[in-house]
């Protein structure tokens, strides 16, 4: 009898079926023992050897990825190499070995645990998922200290579905893509480097399935449905037949959608809608461009601040310049630092807050840490000389914050001008609309902002007073709540009244089931994950603006949640197949 399990996060979409291989990984035990003073330098030398060997292994993985034409993914391992070369980490490890007279394995693991604990307290999902990168480096270092032979996933030579507790980026890079049809893990999230790699390599994957490895055994026949987030263990012949048919239909639809790349995103009555990509890290640039985006509507910069030390101006400038040149002449909207204020990876630490979601985060953090803010602004402005850049300030809640952020930006411009450093003096300065106060005061903010971009993820959570990461109340978090829709209508109307360009860059923008609604509200610029660009464009090219406006007018006239959901079933899901929209 088949067993159906549905609770995972779709990291990379697709459907695959085959025999399971359960990967248990290397069993690493961390010994703790005293090192005599006479042997301390030998222990330091052992640490140095492991450091060099680990670095060489990662360089080889990086080269392998590059040879397979995944140059964008090779950059992921540059951060691993930087971590291994970090003088702060190296000196700290050596000092702890000498002062505590402990073995290198114990010391490295101790430092890693401290960093993992720090990352786990950050409310930003992308930053929390860097824990896997820390664990990857830690695991390799300790294996090399113990001179253990590593399990090599590239040795798998039969068609298989891989199940694992978790996969590190280096393990994912070594997957034999000829034979690994898909992978499923107990842990992980959709913004982890492992998930990003799966999408780039076109390997269907479901992550965060809690304890799936305790249900699946080697040689079980499984169906991985990474469209709906389901695993079916030992399906019936009828289920296998249905999924094979479903798989063929999906491949046919994907082939048809891929033809949209070069076609304009216009409605049937010739209204143009601008589609942009959300960029987590530069590794995703190729995907965004290949899916026909008009540029980048949200470039998150937090990845630059993951090291033990804060990034300097030059290193930031090089990253921004690379992205801007790649997309030129299309625009790149760069969001300034959007950390929570409880802790930040880097040399600076702050007092932990009881509620970081309402604390010193985003623009509040930047305005209280002017030098960090100015360094980032200098780097962004310098990059503006190489393409079209827009700067976006996150979580603006009142006019004073926007005026202060603009003043600091103009001060930086003056400094660059005096130094003779080129930049675009006409760079646009806009804000993310993420809190209800910004919506209510949008007419006032319009006096100072060059553009608005609605971040629906946080806005919905603040309007409904619900923590979107809390599973107990996840059902309350609903973008279709009538109060959310009214706030969005208010925001769109205000922007049009004052002729301020407006876009949406939250999850709503990338879910094709909401596209008719957003167009009807007046949002004609949408920014999303690259994988959703085809789906959204397909909806745009299949509807008229009049049709969208009538639909939205009807939705806004309703009061009950069930009524809103029913009209979506009656209109959207009938017009567009369930297969495309889910």
* Active-site annotation holder among 80, 187, 291, 505: 505
Across 126-152, average pLDDT: 78
Report helix, strand or coil for 146.
coil
CA separation for the pair 285, 10 (Å, rounded):
20
Non-local (6+) Cβ contacts of 275 within 8 A are: 265, 292, 293, 294, 526, 527, 528, 533, 536, 537, 540
Predicted confidence (pLDDT) per residue in 363-403, tens digit: 998 999 999 999 999 999 999 999 999 999 999 999 999 99
C-alpha angle with apex 384: 378 to 388, nearest 5 degrees?
Answer: 150
φ, ψ of residue 527 to 5 degrees: the values are: -125, 135
Whether the per-residue pLDDT at 417 is higher than 60: the answer is yes
Instruction: Assess whether 505 carries a catalytic annotation.
Output: yes
d(CA 68, CA 70): 6
pLDDT at 282: 80
Instruction: Assess whether pLDDT exceeds 90 at residue 154.
Output: no
% of the chain exceeding 90 in pLDDT:
54
Tens-digit pLDDT profile for residues 232-286: 999 999 999 999 998 888 888 888 888 888 899 999 999 999 999 999 878 789 8
554 is catalytic: no
Which of 192-196, 269-273, 322-326, 561-565 has the least mean pLDDT? 192-196
Joined together, the tokens standing for residue 329 give 């002449």
Q: What is the pLDDT of residue 342?
A: 39
Put the strands of the sheet holding 221-225 in their side by side order. 3-6, 230-233, 221-225, 15-23, 160-164, 180-185, 205-207, 9-12
Report residue 577's pLDDT band, with 50, 70 and 90 as the boundaries.
low
pTM of the entire predicted model: 0.72
Q: Tell me if 162 sits within 8 A of 184, measured CB to CB.
A: yes
Q: Which of 378, 517, 489 is nearest to 433 (CA)?
A: 489
| CA neighbours closer than 13 Å in the CB half-sphere of residue 373 | 25
Query: Dihedral sign, CA of 4, 193, 509, 580?
Result: negative
Q: Please tell me the distance from the alpha carbon of residue 502 to that of residue 242, in angstroms, as a whole number.
A: 43
| Structure-model confidence comparison of residues 490 and 565, the more confident one | 490
Going by C-alpha positions, the residue among 553, 456, 512 that lies closest to residue 273 is 512
* 106-111 average pLDDT score: 93
Q: Which residue is listed with tokens 């143009």?
A: 272
pLDDT surpassing 60 at residue 118: yes
Higher pLDDT, 192 or 581: 192
Catalytic residue among 80, 193, 291, 294: 193
Q: What's the chain's average pLDDT?
A: 87
Question: In the predicted model, what is the mean pLDDT of residues 97-118?
Answer: 90
- Rounded to whole angstroms, the Cα distance separating 210 from 331 reads 40
211 CB burial (10 A radius; 0-12, 13-18, 19+): exposed
Mean pLDDT, to the nearest integer, of 481-487? 95
Give the residue, 189 or 126, on which the prediction is more confident: 189
With beta carbons less than 8 A apart as the criterion, state whether 269 and 546 touch: yes
| Rounded CA separation 48/45 (Å) | 5
**Confidence (pLDDT) at 123:** 62
Any idea how long the chain is? 582
Q: Which helix (H) or strand (E) holds 104?
A: helix 104-120
pLDDT tens-digit profile of 186-240? 887 776 777 877 877 789 999 988 889 888 999 999 999 998 889 999 999 999 9
Tens digit of each residue's pLDDT (9 = 90 or more) over 67-94: 665 655 666 777 788 888 888 889 999 9
The residues, ordered by sequence, that sit 6+ positions from 298 with a Cβ below 8 Å of its Cβ are 276, 278, 279, 333, 335, 392, 453, 505, 527
* pLDDT at residue number 579: 40
Number of Cβ within 10 Å of residue 570's Cβ equals 11
Q: Please report the domains of the chain, with CATH numbers, ordered by start residue.
A: 3-25+154-237 (3.50.30.10), 37-145 (1.10.274.10), 250-267+443-582 (3.20.20.60)
Residue 226: name the closest of 246, 197, 242 by CA.
246
């Amino acid at each position: 009898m088949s067993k159906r399990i549905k609770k995972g996060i779709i990291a990379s979409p697709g459907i695959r079926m085959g025999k399971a291989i359960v990967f248990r990984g290397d069993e690493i035990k961390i010994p703790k023992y005293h090192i005599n003073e006479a042997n301390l330098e030998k222990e330091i030398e052992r640490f140095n050897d492991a450091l060099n060997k680990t670095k060489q292994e990662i360089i080889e993985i990086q080269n392998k990825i590059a040879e397979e034409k995944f140059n964008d993914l090779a950059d992921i391992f540059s951060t691993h190499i930087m971590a291994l070369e970090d003088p702060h980490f190296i000196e700290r490890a050596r000092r702890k070995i000498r002062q505590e007279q402990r073995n290198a394995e114990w010391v490295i693991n101790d430092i890693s645990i401290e960093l993992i604990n720090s990352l786990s307290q950050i409310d930003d999902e992308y930053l929390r998922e860097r824990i896997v990168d820390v664990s990857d480096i830690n695991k390799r270092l300790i294996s090399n200290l113990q001179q253990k032979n590593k399990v090599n996933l590239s040795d798998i030579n039969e068609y298989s579905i891989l199940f694992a507790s978790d996969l590190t980026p280096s393990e994912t890079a070594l997957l034999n893509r000829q034979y690994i049809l898909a992978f499923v893990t107990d842990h992980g999230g959709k913004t982890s480097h492992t998930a990003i790699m799966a999408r780039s390599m076109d390997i269907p994957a479901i992550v965060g399935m809690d304890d799936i490895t305790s249900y699946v055994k080697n040689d079980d026949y499984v169906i991985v449905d990474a469209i709906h987030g389901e695993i079916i263990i030992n399906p019936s012949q009828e289920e296998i037949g249905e999924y094979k048919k479903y798989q063929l239909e999906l491949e046919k639809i994907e082939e048809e959608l891929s033809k949209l790349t070069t076609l304009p995103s216009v409605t049937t009555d010739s209204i143009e809608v601008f589609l942009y990509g959300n960029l987590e890290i530069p590794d995703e640039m190729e995907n965004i461009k290949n899916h026909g985006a008009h540029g980048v509507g949200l470039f998150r910069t937090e990845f630059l601040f993951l090291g033990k030390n804060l990034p300097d101006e030059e290193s930031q400038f090089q990253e921004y310049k690379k992205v801007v040149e790649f997309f030129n002449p299309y625009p790149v909207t760069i969001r300034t630092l959007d950390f929570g204020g409880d802790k930040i990876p880097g040399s600076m630490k702050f007092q932990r807050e009881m509620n970081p979601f309402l604390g010193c985060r985003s623009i509040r953090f930047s305005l209280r840490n002017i030098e960090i803010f100015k360094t980032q602004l200098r780097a962004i402005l310098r990059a503006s000389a190489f393409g079209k850049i827009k700067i976006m300030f996150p979580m603006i809640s009142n006019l004073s914050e926007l005026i202060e952020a603009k003043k600091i930006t103009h001060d930086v411009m003056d400094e660059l001008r005096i130094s003779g450093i080129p930049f675009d003096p006409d760079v646009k300065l806009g804000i993310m609309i993420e809190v209800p106060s910004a919506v209510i005061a949008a007419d006032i903010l319009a006096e100072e902002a060059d553009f608005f971009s609605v971040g629906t993820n946080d806005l919905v959570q603040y309007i409904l007073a619900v923590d979107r990461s809390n599973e107990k109340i996840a059902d309350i978090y609903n973008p279709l709540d009538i109060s959310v829709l009214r706030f969005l209508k208010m925001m769109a109307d205000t922007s049009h009244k004052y002729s301020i360009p407006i876009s949406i860059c939250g999850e709503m923008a990338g879910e094709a089931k909401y596209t008719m609604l957003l167009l009807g509200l007046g949002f004609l610029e949408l920014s999303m994950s690259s994988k959703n660009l085809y789906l959204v464009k397909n909806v745009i090219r299949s509807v008229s603006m009049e049709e969208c406006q009538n639909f939205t007018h009807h939705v806004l006239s309703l009061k009950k949640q069930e009524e809103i959901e029913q009209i979506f079933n009656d209109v959207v899901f009938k017009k567009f197949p369930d297969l495309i929209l889910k």
